[in-house]
Structure 1
Amino acid sequence: MDKWVRWAAEVRKVTMPYKIDTEELEREEMERVMVAESKTRERFNSEPVLDFYDLAQVRVFAEMLRSSEEIEGIEIEVAPDFDLTLHYKGGEQERYQLWLGQSNRPSVITKFERGDIVWRIPEHSTNRLIEVLGLDT
């Protein structure tokens, strides 16, 4: 029995780095995402067609922001696809406009109040956004 307990302890040490931290999931600061169809670049549509509360879906948008990289020297002249309102714990909100790419292609996003700064969203985040928005059919 003692030999088995030592063996189990060793297995636990080896697999510890791969453990899913459920507390980390609960620490996500973003708690709600409202998605509206965008009409123009100059005007924010605050009438959502989709509203996400589920942590797994909200995390897709949080990862979108975390994985984005600022790109310079780009000017977007076409209307965005979506207007996003991101709600955080404590009542803070941010508004973004999203130009959603096709599968396996990058997307771009701007903060509504700062349209002069553009961030590139990598392909894997685009794919997850397409999936969560239900556009993969």
Structure 2
Amino acid sequence: MDKWIRLAGEIRKMTISYKIDTEELEREEMERVMVAESSERGTFNPEVALEFHELSQVRVFAEMLRSSEEIEGIEIEVAPDFDLTVQYKGGEYERYQLWLGQPNRPSVITKLERTDVIWKLPEHTTNRLIDILGVNYSPLICFAN
């Protein structure tokens, strides 16, 4: 047993220079995400359609928030696609509205309490959200005259 403890200590020393912290991988603050279809900007739909609580699923939404970048000078005229409730460990929660982009295109979110501030999500985040939400986009068929 002592041999294994020393081995684990040596492995930890070797990986410290790479800043790999295996405990950090399990310490996601976000605990659960609830998703509802949205109907109107600034109005929140409480009817949950999807719920995510597994770590691998929750990480997609955590990455969504971490990868967002505030943008200015944009007005959104259409209703959001989804209302998101993000619950953190300790019971705190935040509510967002998501306008999901097409594959390989940016998306945008707003915090429900601050609809005047808009955050852009990068294309790779849109792709991950499309996958986890199970959204199917059919290729558009265009006919030219």
Task: Give the letter aligned to residue 115 of structure 1.
Answer: T
Aligned to 2:123: 123
> Aligned partners of 1:87 and 1:80: how far apart in 2?
20
Amino acid at match of 1:32: R
The equivalent residue for 1:17 is 18
Structure 2 segments unaligned to the other structure (5+ residues):
1-9, 138-145
Deviations 1:29-68 (A, max 9, x none): 0000000000111310011100000100000000000000
* In 2, Cα distance between equivalents of 1:106 and 1:97: 15
Q: Separation in 1 of the partners of 2:130 and 2:15?
A: 36
Identity %: 71
Whole-angstrom CA distance in 2 between matches of 1:16 and 1:136: 42
1:17 aligned counterpart, secondary structure: coil
Runs of 4+ in 1 over 6 A off after TM superposition: none
Question: What's the CA shift for 1:75?
Answer: 1.0
Contact 2:80–2:99, Cα closer than 8 Å, also in 1? yes
5 Å-filtered alignment, 1:74-93, equals 74-93=74-93
| Equivalent residues in 2 for 1:1-137, closer than 5 Å | 13=14, 17=18, 21-136=21-136
CA spacing shift, 1:90–1:136, aligned 2, 3 Å: same
**Aligned-pair Cα RMSD in Å:** 2.1
TM-score (normalizing by structure 2): 0.80
For normalisation by structure 1, the TM-score amounts to 0.85
Q: 1:91–1:18: structure 2 CA closer, same or farther, 3 Å change rule? A: closer
How many equivalent residue pairs? 127
**Quick one: distance in 2 between partners of 1:112 and 1:59?**
21
